[in-house]
Structure 1
Amino acid sequence: MGQHILACFVPKGICIESYEEHTFGEYILEFPNLSSAQVMELSTRLRLNRGKYLANLKTERIVEIIDKTIHLWLNPQYPLRKLAETLLPMITGYDAEIVRLELKRFLRGFRKKDLYRFLDEEFDNPGMLDNFRPRKSGGFTRAYGPELILHFFSGNVPGLPIWSMIMGLLLKSAGIGKTSSAEPLMAVLFAQSLAEVDENLAECLAVLPWKGGSAQFEDVLLERADAVVIYGSSKTVEKIKYKVRQPIPVLGYGHKISFAAIGREALTADRYQDTVHRLANDVSVYDQQSCLSPQLVFVERGGVISPQQFAQFLASELDRYEKRRPRAKLVDAEIHSIRSLRNRYEAVAISNPDIDVYASRAGTEWTVIYHGRPGFEGSPLNRTIHVFACQCLEEAFGHLRPYRSYLQSAGIAVAPERLEVLAHCLAQEGVSRITAIGQMTLGVSGWHHDARFNLADLVRFVDIERSAEQLAELYDPDVE
């Protein structure tokens, strides 16, 4: 008999009578069979639990609870961490070592110091989440989070749902998270670990799987939610947004394209190998499934190695990476997309010396397409990247403008005196995050996801104006 693992988390009192089983090795994941009546009862229960407990907690206390939960996960011997490190590679197909390393890196970003940075980035005074706080212009302001947030999680990056769950808890919001069939486990395990630290707080969360688009669940919950947060394809985001009929905050994080930019000063004799290694890591982590992963790179001429040599070294590094940490197995459609791209450029390369293709021999494990001139093209992902040569990065950035609505992160490797100038150029073209190559897939606490706030966009600000404050003074019985 295999070990049974619940693929859901619900508050006490919600009775689930039957489950559907899916086997992964010696583990059996149990997915609940729910009715619309149970989902309605669940949303009501979460609101009640929040009102009794979470709504009355001070922000400092919430931070302490989350911090204690995260420190459980930072212990390599923690049973739920060991379970995640075992099961997530089976479920997602990602290399076990990548999952272990990246999950640890990701969770370290939610320790107490990082959560306080997160809050300080978004609120002049985070105390306004607890009480009315004085305003510089007079009067007072308080921020109220939604009572119930409905989260739609994506499954491309293990652990990503934790970001959304923590975001809601910091706003004192109850939350219902819909998991993805591609990764239905991590959010459940995190909720279970939260219950180990503070059972009452965990009672304000539910994590459930259901087939996307199921009207019997989504229509009910969209009517009852006070805010909606959506991760997924642009099509998924727009489809859910269309179904929201009430004037509530809806944050959608859909398809985005990230890229890298490498200056000649990062291609000196003592630096180019490190530069290649850093970029190969960004390309390989989670097989470019994250919207933070680079799909193309601009490389300046004038370094010790040429852009074409850079492409060749990158191909060799990706080959070494594949031997250490193999890419996940692909479905037929993904393989076809990569082979189609290769075939198209191999045909062009016959008559065009500005094009070259470097690819894994045995299969589609990695692909590097070299372009002798600057341009722009997205990738079919799964360790496939375009390398565009350019005389200077400013010239290359001119090719970004038609795609500005899709741009997100830029990993950059340039000298200090160029950083701010090039950052301004990138900002003008629509980029919202500029980071170091080698760090592209790791969003830091407090970053402005898709150029906006994470917390502040979900709250209601309530002001007590100075006139009301002054008038109240008149009614003080001790006033003279």
Structure 2
Amino acid sequence: MSVSWMPKWVTADGVPFTLRSGTHEWRGVRPTDWTAIGAGLEAAHSDLRRLPVRRIVDAVDAVVDLWAKRDFTARRTAVRNAALVTGMSEETIDGALDAELGNLRAESLLAALTRELGAPEALDGFRSGTTAVGPRTVLAVFSGNVPGLPARSLVRALLVKATVIAKIPAKEPHFTAAFLRTLHDVEPVLADAVVATYWDRDDEETLEGALGQADAVIAYGGDQACAAIRARVRPHQLYEEHSHKLSFGIVSAEYAARHGAAEVARQIASDCSDFDQHACLSPQVYLVQEQHAREIARHLAVAMRREAQDSPPGAIDAQDATVLQHRRLVAEWRAATSDTSEVWAPDGLEWTVVLDDTLMPLSGAGNRVARIVSVPDVAAAVDAMRPYAKHLQNVGLGAVGEEFQRTARELAVLGASRVSAPGAMTRPSMVWRHDGQPRIAGLVRWCDIELHPELETS
């Protein structure tokens, strides 16, 4: 089945493309006449604007209700294909989809719309003299291998009644088209407002064609990839960027004493195992107050083993395996020469727990490496994160009372855009202002009626 999605109004022939992972191949089609695509999206936009926002919310909720069932045919096919291309286990992918799609239920969408716009109906017309208007077309350039990730930005754009050109991620190309096929079954107007395809990073002609039809651009990727897109954005286009990010955890002595080492270890293991630790929200390091660090690390080895049994890690390619083995060797060498370091790991590469007292340069990431770094206090943990402030995103903050309030504020000033409880790092809600910005309100412009005798009737 095609990994691209073309509405029926796309009549011109496109260029076939093939994405490969090992011996597996997936095919799709890429438009060549972007002027025609723009005209089609303009017509689709007229139909989309006539939908009440609550009808859009209900349609998305109905699609998610289908996809929430793990035996739903489209979901099972998407999960199997995602496992082939990402190397993740089907259990891990199912967990990722549960987390991502769980945020797209009606209650969550309405809460996000209300928080950012005051009232969802602001998108339907003037209320109390003001209305919000979304762009005609959003170009969304997706990347990464987190299953289900495109749904968040795709749904945000549709909520503000914008049509979408989506570049699907090569590392997980199946979900977007599969989700849109179900959306078409539920509410064709929404699915017909989206064109989803793929082009190579160096295909500047296609990027320029797609950019030429967009009023807003959403870019996901590494710093260099996002910079390349940012450089091409026109002055009149809204721009939203999700570039390279890092996340950390902190555990204070009081938090550890209150919850116990075994429970804290379970929380950390969950954060470090979800998505095989490949999400930006996944912690690279947990900084733990020194009197509890070793005990938590010991329990963490048990908890990581249990996570690997319940949700098996995916296959690791040769390059990542080499990086992981090197990380283990460095950690084992430090453990052999220091009384404050220790390593727990199985014979295979399913998981690794490292205890250290130094936050070494973050070489390599992912693949379920749970690093515990002992620190004298919470203030020292925050100081250790300062060199990474530019890329700081998410902190799992295990602290209580006044120390929690003070530290959360310090982390916000440092650069964090999200503070969560340990164990909840990889499950952000739609209400979170993704990377610190209002992602629904950021797509709209406002029009106010003022100083007009007809205001009372608007």
Between structure 1 and structure 2, the one with the greater Rg is 1
Change (3 A) 1:391 1:18: closer
Q: Which amino acid aligns with 2:216?
A: A
Contact 1:260/1:296, CA 8 A, preserved across alignment: yes
Contact 2:245/2:391, CA 8 A, preserved across alignment: yes
What residue is the counterpart of 2:80 in the other structure? 86
Change (3 A) 1:72 1:322: closer
Contact 1:132/1:141, CA 8 A, preserved across alignment: yes
What residue is the counterpart of 1:36 in the other structure? 32
Displacement after TM superposition at 1:236 (Å): 1.1
Contact 2:116/2:441, CA 8 A, preserved across alignment: yes
Structure 1: where are the runs of 5+ without partners? 135-139
What residue is the counterpart of 1:127 in the other structure? 121
What residue is the counterpart of 2:294 in the other structure? 308
Task: From 169, 186, 195, give the equivalent of 2:175.
Answer: 186
Displacement after TM superposition at 1:416 (Å): 4.0
Contact 2:216/2:443, CA 8 A, preserved across alignment: yes
Structure 1 stretch displaced more, 410-419 or 263-272: 263-272
Identity rate of aligned residues, in percent? Answer: 28
Query: Does residue 442 of structure 2 align to residue 446 of structure 1?
Result: no
Distance 2:391 2:67 in 1: 34
What residue is the counterpart of 2:326 in the other structure? 340
Residues 388-407 of structure 1: pairs in structure 2 closer than 5 A: 388-407=373-392
Contact 1:23/1:29, CA 8 A, preserved across alignment: yes
Displacement after TM superposition at 1:171 (Å): 0.6
Task: From 346, 370, 380, give the equivalent of 2:365.
Answer: 380
Q: Which amino acid aligns with 1:214?
A: D
Query: Does residue 177 of structure 2 align to residue 195 of structure 1?
Result: no
Displacement after TM superposition at 1:350 (Å): 4.0
Aligned residues: 455
Distance 1:322 1:124 in 2: 43
What residue is the counterpart of 1:143 in the other structure? 132
What residue is the counterpart of 1:415 in the other structure? 400
**Alignment RMSD (CA, Å):** 2.5
What residue is the counterpart of 1:325 in the other structure? 311
What residue is the counterpart of 1:265 in the other structure? 254
Distance 2:14 2:438 in 1: 40
Deviations 1:134-181 (A, max 9, x none): 2xxxxx322110100000112321001010110000110000110111
Q: Which amino acid aligns with 1:360?
A: P
Query: Does residue 149 of structure 2 align to residue 154 of structure 1?
Result: no
Displacement after TM superposition at 1:35 (Å): 5.0
What residue is the counterpart of 1:14 in the other structure? 10
Distance 2:391 2:408 in 1: 17
Displacement after TM superposition at 1:370 (Å): 1.9
Distance 1:22 1:173 in 2: 28
Distance 1:21 1:373 in 2: 45
Change (3 A) 1:460 1:213: farther
Displacement after TM superposition at 1:292 (Å): 0.4
Q: Which amino acid aligns with 2:327?
A: L
Contact 2:92/2:312, CA 8 A, preserved across alignment: no
Deviations 1:349-395 (A, max 9, x none): 44333333333323x33233322256774652211232111222122
Distance 1:374 1:179 in 2: 36
What residue is the counterpart of 2:52 in the other structure? 58
Q: Secondary structure at the match of 1:261?
A: strand
Query: Does residue 40 of structure 2 align to residue 45 of structure 1?
Result: yes
Distance 1:31 1:246 in 2: 32
Q: Which amino acid aligns with 1:75?
A: K
What residue is the counterpart of 1:137 in the other structure? none
Structure 1 stretch displaced more, 382-391 or 13-22: 13-22
Q: Which amino acid aligns with 1:340?
A: H
Contact 2:261/2:295, CA 8 A, preserved across alignment: no
Contact 1:154/1:179, CA 8 A, preserved across alignment: yes
Displacement after TM superposition at 1:399 (Å): 1.9
Contact 2:139/2:217, CA 8 A, preserved across alignment: yes
Change (3 A) 1:459 1:378: farther
Structure 2: where are the runs of 5+ without partners? none
Change (3 A) 1:28 1:65: same
Deviations 1:288-346 (A, max 9, x none): 111000100011134xxx31232233233323333443322223332232233333343
Q: Which amino acid aligns with 2:54?
A: E
Distance 2:165 2:408 in 1: 38
Displacement after TM superposition at 1:131 (Å): 1.4
Distance 2:318 2:360 in 1: 29
Distance 1:331 1:358 in 2: 22
Change (3 A) 1:75 1:387: closer
Contact 2:247/2:392, CA 8 A, preserved across alignment: yes
Q: Which amino acid aligns with 1:14?
A: V
Deviations 1:39-83 (A, max 9, x none): 3322321121112x1012221221122122221222344321222
Change (3 A) 1:20 1:222: closer
Contact 1:256/1:408, CA 8 A, preserved across alignment: yes
Task: From 440, 446, 456, give the equivalent of 1:455.
Answer: 440
Distance 1:434 1:378 in 2: 24
Distance 1:411 1:225 in 2: 36
Distance 1:87 1:455 in 2: 31
Contact 2:150/2:176, CA 8 A, preserved across alignment: yes
Structure 1 stretch displaced more, 330-339 or 273-282: 330-339
Distance 1:199 1:86 in 2: 26
Contact 1:368/1:387, CA 8 A, preserved across alignment: yes
Distance 1:219 1:24 in 2: 27
Deviations 1:103-125 (A, max 9, x none): 12321221111110010111123
Distance 2:333 2:361 in 1: 19
Displacement after TM superposition at 1:189 (Å): 0.8
Distance 1:21 1:380 in 2: 29
Displacement after TM superposition at 1:97 (Å): 1.1
Q: Secondary structure at the match of 2:103?
A: helix
TM-score (norm 2): 0.92
Q: Secondary structure at the match of 1:252?
A: strand
Structure 1 stretch displaced more, 157-166 or 97-106: 97-106
Change (3 A) 1:374 1:29: closer
Displacement after TM superposition at 1:269 (Å): 8.7
Distance 2:227 2:132 in 1: 28
Task: From 58, 63, 68, give the equivalent of 1:69.
Answer: 63
Q: Secondary structure at the match of 1:106?
A: helix
